[in-house]
Structure 1
Amino acid sequence: MDHDQSRHDDPDDLRHLDAILTASPELQSLTSHVRAFAVMMTELKGEQLEQWMRCVDADDQPALHSFVVACAAIRTRLPQA
């Protein structure tokens, strides 16, 4: 899968997104975590999940904290490979 955003996004859209993210550090942080998760999953790098969850836990992102709790609960029920 190609992660090159410029291929998909209009330059004006990218400028608007950049302005929004610049104005909101919280949204910028959330976006960074979500993008990192997407890359990790699409590149099948599940071994990075623990580190990603620790990074999210260290950040003030309540919505992602609940996602991390759910991921951890699911992982405890999965057989180890």
Structure 2
Amino acid sequence: MTRRPDRLTDAQQQCLVSLLARCPELAATDVHVRTFATMLTTLTGHHLEDWITTAGQSDLPGIGTFARHLRQDLAAVTAGLTTPWNSGPVKGTVNRIKMVKRQMFGRANLDLLRKRILHPV
């Protein structure tokens, strides 16, 4: 369910269709997950309010809880689903700095750490 439908093999597609036909709760979950994934990938956050309402009315406890928590910070979630900007490059840089720091823990002083971070090899 979490993979793009166009990336499923024929056998996987048939298996998914068979599973969804046997379990109505799973079929409803599939609809909610795919709709939310579409909002994520196409940056159509203006549909979020409708999705939260629909998901909250479903009898699926996990989906309903997720929707309720999204509503708590609706402005931030909507902005995240509509703007093309993200903090990925910044997080990647911070992650690299932390990795270098962990590698050097107890082995070198701050001068060497500064050189490794500012002048990566």
TM-score by length of 2: 0.57
How many residues align? The count is 76
Looking at structure 2, the residues matched to 47 and 55 of structure 1 have their Cα atoms a distance apart, in angstroms, of 14
- Measure how far apart 1:41 and its partner are: 1.5
Alignment match, 2:5:
5
Looking at structure 2, the residues matched to 57 and 51 of structure 1 have their Cα atoms a distance apart, in angstroms, of 10
With CA pairs under 8 Å and 6+ residues apart, which has the higher RCO, 1 or 2?
1
Alignment match, 2:109:
none
Taking a change above 3 Å as real, the CA distance of residues 15 and 61 of structure 1, as seen in their structure-2 partners, is: same
- Measure how far apart 1:5 and its partner are: 2.3
Show structure 1 runs of 5+ residues with no match: none
- Aligned-pair identity in percent equals 28
Q: Which runs of 4+ in 1 moved over 2 A?
A: 3-6
1:7-53 Cα offsets, whole Å, 9 max, x none, are: x1110111011000000010000010000000012111111000001
Show structure 2 runs of 5+ residues with no match: 80-121
Looking at structure 2, the residues matched to 46 and 32 of structure 1 have their Cα atoms a distance apart, in angstroms, of 17
TM-score by length of 1: 0.82
Across the aligned residues of Structure 1 and Structure 2, the Cα RMSD in angstroms comes to 2.1
Alignment match, 2:36:
37
Looking at structure 2, the residues matched to 4 and 49 of structure 1 have their Cα atoms a distance apart, in angstroms, of 20
Alignment match, 2:99:
none
Alignment match, 2:85:
none
Question: Max radius of gyration: which structure?
Answer: 2
Amino acid aligned to 1:17: L
